[in-house]
């Protein structure tokens, strides 16, 4: 489970991670008898329907249906994958989580050592900003000139890299960090000529780059003058991959989740200026077009992305280049067009935050924006120009994973360009016709299940029986396999019950309901399955050991009934056809009679 994270590690983390402690670090809890309640952090409500049950180690909202253990809570609240949530709790409770496949720490160095080195550097750089002897007064003067308040400097841990070749290198050595560790953390590099190490950032304002959990993973340094490069990032490491990071997402996450909308700006100072002015729902792509990794990350939190890049040609081109990755994630993309000569930072400082809000609220759709850009490059009054415009628009449209969205973008492209829809569809076909199938997502799970409304009552009753009475779960194993169930969530839950029973060092008759449900919950990754189990654990009554074999058989046969009905229908059709042809296979008749008799017996 958990991307090859051993079950024993997951069990240790859940043993240490008190569900009340974890949840209360995000939302205030109020005791309600033996349990706790709160307003649900996952949907808007006025009356608390969110419950935390310490004994069972689970939470459940009876409003939106979300539920699970401490790992599932962190998954939902932080919008992390299962392995990421396990790691977050592991770090919180001091439990080392082994590296999983696909993660290759540089030179065998563990990530913890790199994180400690980066944290040391962040503290050092921030201290230098406040130290006149190290030139920090120049940096503070620059930041004040950019309208960055002292409180904001503290809020984001902004720092200063002294104009020296060995400032952070010497500090790291003094703190006991080996040169190779600091190099692997991206803080220093080795000279090819001399073989000596030197600081990566020098004479620059330092902006810490955090991952979505708020851990500093790298730095971006900005010069105080007009020299190039204006910004310089520390190199990519085992902690920091630029294409997978969105600057400011940790700070903006709650606002983005609440509004299901994110504003994407280009530079870090654009983001900081907006945040300081009270606009908290923005992130910065750090000067690059959106990558597929950034788009996937953003999809966890938002349904709509509004770009607010610089108004110059480079900013416009970067905006257009970002569309494809976001359309592949089925995000609704719009553009807040900045006034000529402005970026968000300058707009807010010169005209105030309301001027920026107005641009956001009047954002135009991506098709209209792209048409405005390409018609300046290609003359729409000529056939050749229209052909190039059609090609540019359809090149973007074909990235849309959702066929409904693709259809809408074609219609909108025809509307703004005046090029007939049929012509645009022919151009789309010439370019490859777009994506033939939507990407694989969590929607694959939704595809396999009809939702709570369509879930077989018999299947739900069966898995509830297996969870609530461990001996019954053991008795079910030879009678029915998880693959026999139609509902994907029920299948996964029954498999988790079987796995927990098989791995337990105690007999099923000795296992209590709470013990089994905790063991089963620790083996579940998908939130939908955790929701189902938490509902069963809280709503269903604990069953006694007096459940008879006949009762179990009746339920199993009830689960099989839809399949048997379908098979009877198929057999009848084949028998009728063969009867018309003159010869009927006796085996078909025998199977039909046996199946009919079995169904009558269990009714």
Say if residues 431 and 399 touch (Cβ distance below 8 Å).
Answer: no
Q: What percent of the chain has pLDDT over 70?
A: 89
- Count the alpha carbons within 13 Å of 101 in the hemisphere toward its beta carbon: 5
Which of helix, strand or coil describes residue 135? coil
Order of strands, sheet of 50-53, starting from the edge strand that comes earlier in the sequence: 30-32, 35-38, 50-53, 58-61, 67-68
CA distance 372 to 337: 11
Taking residues 302-322, report their average pLDDT. 87
What pLDDT does 512 receive? 64
Q: Where are the alpha helices (DSSP H) in 61-213?
A: 70-78, 82-92, 111-129, 136-145, 150-156, 167-174, 179-184
Say if residues 177 and 171 touch (Cβ distance below 8 Å).
Answer: no
Distances (CA, A) of 437 to 210, 242, 440, 585: 34, 29, 9, 42
CA distance 75 to 496: 19
What pLDDT does 23 receive? 94
What pLDDT does 99 receive? 61
Q: Which residue has the higher pLDDT, 446 or 112?
A: 112
Q: Check pLDDT > 90 for residue 218.
A: yes
CA-closest candidate to residue 51, choices 66, 65, 35: 35
Q: Check pLDDT > 80 for residue 233.
A: yes
CA distance 63 to 44: 9
Say if residues 309 and 280 touch (Cβ distance below 8 Å).
Answer: no
CA distance 180 to 521: 41
Q: Check pLDDT > 90 for residue 404.
A: no
CA distance 498 to 508: 11
Tens digits of residue pLDDT in 492-550: 999 988 888 887 756 555 666 667 777 888 888 888 888 888 888 765 555 544 667 77
Pick from 95-109, 253-267, 575-589: least confident: 95-109
Q: Backbone phi, then psi, for 256, in 5-degree steps?
A: -65, -45
Question: CA torsion 376→379→384→387, rounded to 10°?
Answer: 50
What pLDDT does 155 receive? 95
pLDDT band at 111 (very low <50, low <70, confident <90, very high): confident
Q: Which residues of 369-398 are buried (b: 16+ CB within 10 A; e: fewer)?
A: bbbeebbeebeeeeeeebebbbbbbbbbbb
Taking residues 93-100, report their average pLDDT. 76
Taking residues 141-158, report their average pLDDT. 95
Q: Check pLDDT > 80 for residue 454.
A: no
What pLDDT does 506 receive? 61
CA distance 260 to 254: 10
Distances (CA, A) of 526 to 253, 431, 446: 21, 37, 11
What's the residue count for the chain? 603
Which of 17-21, 230-234, 327-331, 348-352 is most confident? 348-352
- Count the alpha carbons within 13 Å of 329 in the hemisphere toward its beta carbon: 23
The overall average pLDDT reported for the chain is 85
Q: Check pLDDT > 90 for residue 121.
A: yes
* pTM for the whole structure: 0.67
CA distance 284 to 371: 24
Q: Check pLDDT > 80 for residue 114.
A: yes
Q: Check pLDDT > 80 for residue 603.
A: no
Tens digits of residue pLDDT in 359-390: 999 999 999 999 999 999 999 999 999 999 99
């Amino acid at each position: 489970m958990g991307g090859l994270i051993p079950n024993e590690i997951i069990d240790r983390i859940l043993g240490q991670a008190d569900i009340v402690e974890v949840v209360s670090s995000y939302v205030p809890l109020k005791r309600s008898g033996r349990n706790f309640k709160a307003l649900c952090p996952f949907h808007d409500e006025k009356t608390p329907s969110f419950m935390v049950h310490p004994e069972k180690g689970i939470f459940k909202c009876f409003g939106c249906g979300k539920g699970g253990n401490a790992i599932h809570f962190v998954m939902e609240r932080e919008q992390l994958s299962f392995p990421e949530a396990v790691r977050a709790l592991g770090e919180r409770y001091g439990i080392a989580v082994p590296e999983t496949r696909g993660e290759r720490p540089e030179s065998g160095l563990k990530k913890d050592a790199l994180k400690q080195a980066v944290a040391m550097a962040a503290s050092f750089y921030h201290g230098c900003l406040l130290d006149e002897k190290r030139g920090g007064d120049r940096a503070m003067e620059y930041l004040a000139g950019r309208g960055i308040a002292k409180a904001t400097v503290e809020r984001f841990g902004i720092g200063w890299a002294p104009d020296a070749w060995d400032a952070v290198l010497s500090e790291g050595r003094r703190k006991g960090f080996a040169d190779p560790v600091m190099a692997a953390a991206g803080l220093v590099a080795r000279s090819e000529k001399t073989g000596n190490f030197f600081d990566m950032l020098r004479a620059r304002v330092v902006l810490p780059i955090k991952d979505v959990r708020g851990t500093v993973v790298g730095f971006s340094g900005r010069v105080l003058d007009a020299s190039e490069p204006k910004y310089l990032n520390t190199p990519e490491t085992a902690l920091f991959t630029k294409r997978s990071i969105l600057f400011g997402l940790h700070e903006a996450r709650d606002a983005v989740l609440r509004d299901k909308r994110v504003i994407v700006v280009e530079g870090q100072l654009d983001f900081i200026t907006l945040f300081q002015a009270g606009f908290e729902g923005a992130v910065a792509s750090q000067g690059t077009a959106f990558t597929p990794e950034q788009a996937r990350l953003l999809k966890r939190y938002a349904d709509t992305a509004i770009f607010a890049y610089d108004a110059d040609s480079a900013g416009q081109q970067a905006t257009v280049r970002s569309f494809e990755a976001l359309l592949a994630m089925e995000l609704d993309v719009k553009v807040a067009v900045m006034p000529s000569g402005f970026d968000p930072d300058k707009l807010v400082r010169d005209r105030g935050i309301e001027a920026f809000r107005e641009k956001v609220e009047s954002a135009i759709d991506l098709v209209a924006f792209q048409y405005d850009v390409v018609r300046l490059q290609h003359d729409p009054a000529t056939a050749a120009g229209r052909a190039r415009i059609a090609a540019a628009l359809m090149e973007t449209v074909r990235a849309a994973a959702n066929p409904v969205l693709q259809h809408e973008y074609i219609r909108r492209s025809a509307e703004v360009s005046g090029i007939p829809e049929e012509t645009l569809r022919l151009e789309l076909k010439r370019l490859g016709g777009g994506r033939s199938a939507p990407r694989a997502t969590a929607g694959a799970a939704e595809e396999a299940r009809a939702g709570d409304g369509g879930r077989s009552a018999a299947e739900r009753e069966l898995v509830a029986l297996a969870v609530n009475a461990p001996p019954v779960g053991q008795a079910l194993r030879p009678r029915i396999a998880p693959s026999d169930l139609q509902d994907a969530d029920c299948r996964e839950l029954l498999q988790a019950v079987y796995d927990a029973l098989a791995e337990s060092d105690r007999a099923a008759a000795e296992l209590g309901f709470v013990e089994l449900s905790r063991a089963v919950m620790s083996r579940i990754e998908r939130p939908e399955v955790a929701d189902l189990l938490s509902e069963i654990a809280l709503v269903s009554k604990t069953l006694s050991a007096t459940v008879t074999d006949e009762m179990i058989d009746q339920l199993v046969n009830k689960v099989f009934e839809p399949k048997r009905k379908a098979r009877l229908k198929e057999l009848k059709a084949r028998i009728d056809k063969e009867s018309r042809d003159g010869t009927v296979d006796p085996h078909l008749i025998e199977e039909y009679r046996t199946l009919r008799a079995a169904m009558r017996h269990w009714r």
